A and B are shown apart, each in its own frame.
Chain A
Amino acid sequence: RKEVEQDPGPFNVPEGATVAFNCTYSNSASQSFFWYRQDCRKEPKLLMSVYSSGNEDGRFTAQLNRASQYISLLIRDSKLSDSATYLCVVNNAGGTSYGKLTFGQGTILTVHP
């Protein structure tokens, strides 16, 4: 089983749609969780951290279910500029401050007019 698994998509949605991405992770000791966005041929950029209580940043909502080892990202009112690859990222440092992040394969989103 991969450490971090995502549905690779692609997801093709019209502007204004709501789209949800899911991610599962295998290490129950994982402490930190993130969603990154990567545009074509660019570096990944942090979209948002994911907190246990769930968190929202504008049109983006992230949820964490530790019991099921599951993370989600919801995008409301999709814009053309949301088209990108979304990476689910998990800290497998086992509670330490350093260590390494493990990246999912990414989910491709295309928003069309």
Chain B
Amino acid sequence: DGGITQSPKYLFRKEGQNVTLSCEQNLNHDAMYWYRQDPGQGLRLIYYSQIVNDFQKGDIAEGYSVSREKKESFPLTVTSAQKNPTAFYLCASSIRTSYGYTFGSGTRLTVV
């Protein structure tokens, strides 16, 4: 079955560490997105990519980095510059935004 796979499901980060969240899709979607969700809040866009080797900053890109070397993959790195990284991270993809997004099951990141 086609879908989006995020891993790991839970991730713990020590202060000062960089961590990378994986997002893979086999839906043949061109566009991919990373959102962050904090408790009781809506989704905020971190980065998005419409085609391979191209990506744009979203509303809260500071402290994050991405790459899009393959159509299927859009990993997100949470760097040590992100001061408050504890959140629920959601990856999504779309063939066109007029069709909505398909989401992965998310990664819960906690700073320890």
A and B associate in one complex? yes
Question: Is residue B63 within 8 Å, beta carbon to beta carbon, of the partner chain?
Answer: no
- Contact at B50–A103, with CB atoms within 8 Å? no
Report which of B96, B97, B106 forms a contact with A43, defined as CB distance below 8 A.
Answer: B106
- Contact at B101–A98, with CB atoms within 8 Å? no
A62 → chain B closest CB, angstroms? 13
- Contact at B97–A101, with CB atoms within 8 Å? yes
Quick check: which of A52-60, A74-82, A87-95 contacts chain B, the rest being far away?
Answer: A87-95
- Contact at B103–A44, with CB atoms within 8 Å? yes
B64 → chain A closest CB, angstroms? 15
Report which of B41, B88, B90, B98 forms a contact with A105, defined as CB distance below 8 A.
Answer: B41
A98 touching B42 in the complex, CB below 8 Å, given contacts A34-B100, A43-B103, A46-B101: no
Report which of A43, A45, A91, A100 forms a contact with B98, defined as CB distance below 8 A.
Answer: A91
- Report how many A-B pairs have Cβ atoms within 8 Å: 54
Report which of A41, A100, A106 forms a contact with B97, defined as CB distance below 8 A.
Answer: A100
| CB-CB nearest in chain A for B43 | A103
A93 touching B97 in the complex, CB below 8 Å, given contacts A43-B106, A98-B31, A100-B48: yes
- Contact at A105–B100, with CB atoms within 8 Å? no
- Contact at B100–A49, with CB atoms within 8 Å? yes
- Contact at B96–A98, with CB atoms within 8 Å? yes
A69 → chain B closest CB, angstroms? 18
List residues of chain A with CB within 8 A of the CB of B35. 103
Residues of B within 8 A of A (CB): 30-31, 33, 35, 41-43, 45, 48, 50, 58, 88, 90, 94, 96-98, 100-106
Return 24 A-B CB contacts under 8 Å, by A number.
A31-B98, A32-B97, A42-B106, A43-B90, A46-B100, A46-B101, A46-B102, A49-B100, A89-B100, A97-B96, A97-B98, A98-B31, A98-B50, A98-B94, A98-B97, A100-B45, A101-B97, A101-B101, A102-B45, A103-B42, A104-B42, A105-B41, A105-B42, A106-B42
